[in-house]
């Protein structure tokens, strides 16, 4: 189905099932422990052996030798695969920057250099400790601040007809120099780890030339193409199966070493092999959100209207990697006639930086929205009103290109009213509750709506029940449920009569889970398949497809009605393909984030007291699971603001806090109260579902809202995230 004109009235608009708060249909499986994750797929193939990955002990250099004799003779060992068995690295996957295995060169710390396969996990681990590796260490670049001095410009938009190193509109320098009120500050965000609960894990089994991997991966079609390329096998000889995923946040968008090594180990051992990446390797071997050094300059008139905006960011990556695109949202959030943006990339030898939940906007808004708070203070203007004054309904660089929907002002007004923003004291450090200094902060949330091709198959059984098949994944987001809701709405059956099968590369290729595009595109792809099934059912039952209705398990037109089951069995397959609506209209999502914090006057400890997000994200398909997505994202935003930081050993080039004991993430006790409000504005330019993504919008802006609340509580401005007590303790107001 081609979606190239705005959606008119369609069966989804009935909202009998879609749009209703709905329990997850996979919930009973997860709460009873019967939802099998990758490492637990004990029943898929017999005689599974265990693999244990050995990571490089240096960050840069070469492997001189590996003595594996003692390991090979250890009890239970079945096979041992080393990187030196390959004269050169295995081919890069389509989405990888660093080679996952092979060759003697070490590009980053904990790069996989060997796999030990044994009868038990304990035997594999014990044997791995017996491998003796000698290295020739090389000097590496591990300090972003130093590497930034020689960083090079990177195009902000590679897909633009003429990508520019520096994007300019108007005369920023002149306008900034003339502006009566200005902000000129540098902000820093640290590297962050995805830190998902479920590790990278894979079971691999060969049958002749055919390989099956049961793995934990967000993007099945991407990863099938990548793994086939890495292993030099035909894509048709590879099957990937990933029905349940215990968190990903972007870390599982791409193939990782667990899948590659499980396949190599299974080939060498002649048996199925299962591999779970140990936690230290998850942080140093895989991807992370890169640290940034951002510079924001704002110029405004005395009534708060922005006349000049500059936003630049420097981040690092391995050679051939890309930058963190932290300035992309600034081009669209606020109107100003004079603007300037650039990105720089510093080459380092740290592990690969790549997509993490809301790449670009999450760290970018941590800087921009703190700068806006600083501007509001200089103007003696309410921070909410400053943002409203600078709202825009068009792309500031292309005034002829309107937003398909933009209700940011309503998000801010609604949030301010619900949160009690009028009670905020503009002067910092004025409110005290016992030993706590109390402050309120807010920020704008913004994330683009991305459209991706997506397909699905739907089967109607002779019993009237439906089965949905697509390689779409559920990473804890509620995908099973929203697909079931879509099918139930389109075919007029109860939710209990829909079965959903996900994550199998033998199914039609979907959009996958990432970029907050999964829900809208995957349901739109299923919508297309359902339209085709409706037409086939109508034809088989002798109805005019244009007049037929599907409700209560029946197909009706005029005075005639037949059971849906009478048309089965039937199968329909189709997908959604997009025209140019996303080029004609800027499609984005918006939020107003409000936070209250308390800061202990004695210790400097920061505690979040309450949080509110008001979201404008098109039609919400399942408000219950969407709320879960937003409060989870808000919690991640709290982690970014207050505790999460990959500590870099700049001597030896690795992340020191590579476990969940020392890499701190928020827990329930850190987040006492969260509220989410969804505005009801279906977007007919987005898809037949009239939905947009919301899972990443919830993190965008939260960090700055917390930082602004801390400042309001204490009068201490910390521009170097995370805001840990050591950064403001000595500057807190004197205790009276």
Please, are residues 226 and 219 in contact by the beta-carbon 8 Å criterion?
A: no
| DSSP bridge partners of 697 | none
Cβ atoms of 631 and 478 closer than 8 Å: no
User: Domain spanning 402-449+587-736 has what CATH number?
Assistant: 3.30.365.10
Closest CA to 282 of 721, 575, 657, 695: 657
Question: Of 241, 243, 211, which is closest to residue 36 (Cα–Cα)?
Answer: 243
Q: Which H or E run includes 340?
A: strand 338-347
289 DSSP assignment: B
Scanning the structure block, which residue is given the tokens 């879960």? 628
So what CATH class is 38-139+199-284? alpha beta
Relative orientation angle of helices 518-541 and 479-491, to the nearest 10 degrees: 30
Whether the domain at 2-34+451-580 and the domain at 38-139+199-284 fall into the same CATH topology: yes
Residue with tokens 């995923």: 245
Distance between CA atoms of 731 and 428, rounded to whole angstroms? 13
Rounded to the nearest 10°, the torsion over CA 141, 145, 150, 151 is 100
Which residues form the catalytic set? 696
Give 488-503 pLDDT, tens digit per residue: 999 999 999 999 999 9
Report DSSP letters for 116-185, one per residue. EEESSHHHHHHHHTT-EEEEEE------HHHHGGG-EEE-S-TTSSS--SEEEES-HHHHHHH-SEEEEE
Cα–Cα nearest to 609, from 622, 619, 600? 600
Name 708's bridge partners: none
User: pLDDT per residue over 554-593, tens digit each?
Assistant: 999 999 999 999 999 999 999 999 999 999 999 999 999 9
CA of 250: how far to CAs of 62, 93, 218, 274, in Å? 30, 16, 8, 23
Identify whether the C-beta of residue 616 lies closer than 8 Å to the C-beta of residue 405: yes
Distances (CA, A) of 571 to 47, 196, 529: 36, 37, 9
Residue with tokens 């996990």: 121
Q: Where are the domains of the chain?
A: 2-34+451-580, 38-139+199-284, 402-449+587-736
Angle at 56 between CA 315 and CA 228, to 5 degrees: 80
- Residues 334-368 as b/e (b if ≥16 CB within 10 A, e otherwise) read bbbebbbbbbbbbebbbbbbbbbbbbbbbbbbbbb
d(CA 291, CA 188): 8
- For 232, 399, 518, 580, the CA distances from 449, given in Å and listed in that order, are 35, 19, 10, 14
Half-sphere exposure of 39 (CA within 13 A, CB side): 15
Q: Which pLDDT score, from 0 to 100, does residue 736 have? A: 54
Distance CA 414, CA 428 (A): 24
Q: Which two tokens stand for residue 688?
A: 């037949």
Sign of the C-alpha dihedral computed for residues 126, 128, 133 and 139 taken in this order? negative
Contacts of 303 (CB under 8 A, 6+ apart): 389
pTM given for the model: 0.97
Q: How far apart are CA 687 and CA 521, in angstroms?
A: 8
Low-confidence ranges of the chain (pLDDT < 50): none
DSSP per-residue letters across 567-609: G-SEEEEEEEEE-SHHHHSB-EEEEEEEEEEEEETTT--EEEE
CA 372 to chain centre: 25
80 touches 122 (CB < 8 A): no
CATH class of 2-34+451-580: alpha beta
Q: Which two tokens stand for residue 312?
A: 């630049």
Q: Which of 612, 616, 614 is nearest to 589 (CA)?
A: 616
Name the β-bridge partners of 684.
Answer: none
Residue the block writes with tokens 């930086």: 353
Q: Which residues contact 512 (CB under 8 A, 6 or more apart)?
A: 218, 219, 220, 221, 222, 253, 452, 471, 472, 473, 518
- 650: tokens are 């700049």
* Alpha carbon distance 333, 314 (integer Å): 20
Phi, psi of 283 (to 5 degrees): -90, -40
Q: Which of 338, 321, 317, 341 is nearest to 329 (CA)?
A: 341
| Distance, CA of 727 to CA of 644 (rounded, Å) | 14
* Through-space distance between the first and last CA atoms of the chain, rounded to whole angstroms: 68
């Amino acid at each position: 189905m081609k979606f190239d004109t705005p959606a008119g009235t369609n069966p989804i608009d009935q909202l009998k099932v879609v749009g209703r708060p709905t329990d997850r249909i996979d919930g009973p499986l997860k709460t009873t422990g019967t939802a099998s994750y990758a490492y637990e797929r004990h029943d898929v193939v017999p005689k599974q052996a265990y693999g244990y990955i050995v990571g490089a002990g240096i960050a840069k250099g070469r492997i001189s030798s590996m003595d594996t004799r003692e390991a090979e003779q250890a009890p239970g060992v079945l096979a041992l695969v080393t990187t030196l068995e390959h004269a050169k690295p295995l081919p890069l996957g389509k989405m990888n920057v660093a080679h996952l295995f092979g060759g003697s060169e070490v590009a980053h710390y904990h790069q996989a250099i060997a796999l030990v396969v044994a009868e038990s996990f304990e035997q594999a681990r014990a044997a791995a400790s017996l491998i003796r590796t000698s290295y020739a260490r090389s000097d590496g670049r591990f300090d972003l601040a130093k590497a930034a001095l020689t960083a090079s410009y990177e195009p902000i938009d590679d897909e633009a007809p003429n990508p520019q190193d520096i994007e300019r509109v108007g005369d920023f320098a002149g306008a900034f120099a003339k502006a009566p009120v200005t902000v000129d500050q540098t902000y820093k965000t640290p590297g962050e780890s995805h830190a998902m609960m479920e590790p990278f894990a894979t079971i691999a089994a060969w049958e002749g030339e055919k390989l099956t991997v049961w793995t934990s991966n967000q993007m099945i079609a991407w990863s099938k193409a990548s793994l086939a390329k890495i292993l030099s096998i035909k894509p048709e000889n590879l099957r990937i199966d990933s029905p349940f995923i215990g968190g990903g946040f972007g870390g599982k968008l791409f193939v990782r070493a667990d899948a590659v090594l499980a396949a190599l180990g299974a080939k060498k051992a002649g048996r199925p092999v299962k591999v779970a990446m140990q936690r230290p390797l998850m942080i140093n071997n895989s991807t992370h959100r890169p640290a940034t050094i951002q510079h924001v300059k704002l110029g405004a008139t005395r009534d708060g209207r922005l006349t000049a905006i500059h936003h630049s960011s420097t981040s690092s990556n391995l050679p051939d990697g890309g930058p963190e695109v932290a300035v992309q949202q600034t081009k669209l959030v606020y109107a100003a006639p004079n603007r300037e943006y650039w990105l720089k990339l510093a080459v380092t030898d740290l592990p690969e930086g790549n997509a993490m939940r809301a790449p670009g906007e999450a760290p970018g808004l941590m800087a921009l929205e703190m700068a806006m708070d600083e501007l509001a203070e200089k103007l003696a203007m309410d921070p909410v009103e400053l943002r409203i004054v600078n709202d825009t309904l068009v792309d500031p660089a292309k005034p002829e290109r309107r937003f398909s929907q933009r209700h940011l002002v309503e998000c801010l007004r609604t949030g301010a009213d619900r949160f009690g923003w009028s009670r905020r004291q503009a002067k910092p450090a004025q409110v005290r509750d016992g030993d706590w200094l109390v402050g309120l902060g807010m920020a704008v949330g913004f994330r683009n709506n991305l459209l991706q091709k997506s397909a699905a198959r739907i089967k109607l059984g002779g019993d009237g029940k439906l089965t949905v098949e697509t390689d779409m994944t559920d990473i804890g987001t509620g995908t099973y449920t929203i697909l079931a809701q879509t099918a139930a709405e389109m075919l007029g059956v109860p939710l209990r009569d829909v079965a959903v099968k996900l994550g199998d590369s033998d199914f039609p290729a979907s959009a996958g889970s990432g970029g907050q595009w999964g829900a809208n595109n995957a349901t739109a792809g299923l919508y297309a398949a359902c339209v085709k099934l409706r037409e086939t059912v109508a034809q088989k039952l002798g109805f005019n497809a244009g007049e037929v209705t599907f409700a209560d398990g029946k197909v009706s037109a005029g005075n005639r009605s037949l059971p849906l089951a009478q048309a089965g069995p039937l199968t329909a397959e189709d997908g959604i393909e997009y025209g140019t609506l996303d080029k004609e209209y800027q499609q984005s999502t918006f939020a107003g984030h409000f936070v209250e914090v308390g800061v202990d006057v004695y210790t400097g400890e920061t505690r979040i007291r309450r949080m509110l997000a008001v979201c404008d994200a098109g039609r919400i398909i399942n408000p219950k699971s969407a709320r879960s997505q937003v409060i989870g994202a808000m919690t991640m935003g709290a982690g970014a603001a207050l505790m999460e930081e990959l500590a870099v050993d700049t001597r030896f080039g690795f992340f020191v806090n590579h476990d969940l004991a020392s890499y701190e993430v928020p827990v329930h006790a850190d987040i006492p109260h969260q509220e989410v409000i969804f505005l009801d504005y279906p977007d007919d330019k987005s898809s037949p579902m009239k939905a947009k993504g919301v899972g990443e919008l919830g993190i965008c802006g939260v960090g700055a809202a917390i930082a602004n609340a801390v400042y309001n509580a204490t009068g201490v401005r910390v521009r170097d995230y995370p805001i840990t007590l050591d950064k403001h303790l000595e500057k807190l107001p004197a205790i009276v």
